[in-house]
Structure formats: C-alpha cells, structure tokens
Amino acid sequence: MKYITKFNVVRYAETDQMQFVHHSNYLKYFEMARLEWLSSLGVSYAAMEKEGILMPVVSARLDFKKPLFFGDEFKVEVTLKKAPMATLEFDYEIVNQDNTIICEGGTVLAFLDSKKNRPIRCPKLMLDLFT
C-alpha cells in the first residue's frame, strides 16, 4: 500500500547554517506522512494510545540524495512494505517540486502494550486494513 502527501513547504526554522534542511527533520517528515496516511484510513494514534497500544519507532534509516532548502516544496511517498504482524515496516521517498529524489529511507515500528511494556501483535483494526 502506498500514500503520497500533498506538497509541503520547507520552513526557515527547519534549515541549518548551510541553509539545508537539517537532517533530523527528515524523520519528522516521515512521521508526518505516516500519521497523515494512517489518519486517512481512519487509524488514530491517540485512540490507540488510549486503548493501551503504543507504536514506538525501533529502527530508522535515511539515505540523503540532495538537500532541501528554505522555501522548497516537497512531498513524501510512504509505502507499507508488508502486512503488519508485531511490527509495521515503512519505506519513504521525499521528492521536491521538480520531482527530484531528495531522500529515501525506512522505519520499523513495533506494537507495544503500554501497561506491560511488552510487544504485542498487530491490533485487528489495523490488520484488517492491510491484509
């Protein structure tokens, strides 16, 4: 499954002294896209957390190709790599307004019982969306 965000604009506060988007912001862009996609499917992180289900990122990978600069437009493509089990694995691609690939990466999120602080299987609500 794949989702592509609408265009976003790089804000000045997201850039560093070299006028590049600071590397830490790319993980934020990944999260923004992931949350937007899950929300569009009717999945709410807040509701899941109230039910005692947490989804921490347990692994992240970033491969930078070209920088983004203040004022650049970009969109994020997020792809679920496989049906969820005890984890969700996502791939990401960020492209700018010229459709140039800026960054590629991936994250792995685990399902965690907030009371026991132990891994759990994917909740049925999510499993039904992706299988």
- Give me the residue spans of the domains in the chain: 2-130
Cα 22 off chain centre by: 17
Please report the DSSP string for 17-38 in residue order: TTSBBPTHHHHHHHHHHHHHHH
| pLDDT, position 45 | 86
Alpha-carbon gap, residue 78 to 89, rounded angstroms: 10
- Catalytic entry in 16, 72, 98, 113: 16
Residue 127: band (very low, low, confident or very high) from pLDDT cuts 50, 70, 90: confident
pLDDT at position 131 over 80: no
Inter-CA distances, 18 with 6, 13, 74, 96, 106, Å: 26, 12, 19, 18, 25
| pLDDT, position 36 | 94
pLDDT at position 118 over 90: yes
User: Is residue 16 among the annotated active site residues?
Assistant: yes
| pLDDT, position 99 | 97
What homologous superfamily is domain 2-130 in, according to CATH?
Hotdog Thioesterase (3.10.129.10)
Q: What phi and psi, each to the nearest 5 degrees, are found at residue 31? A: -65, -45
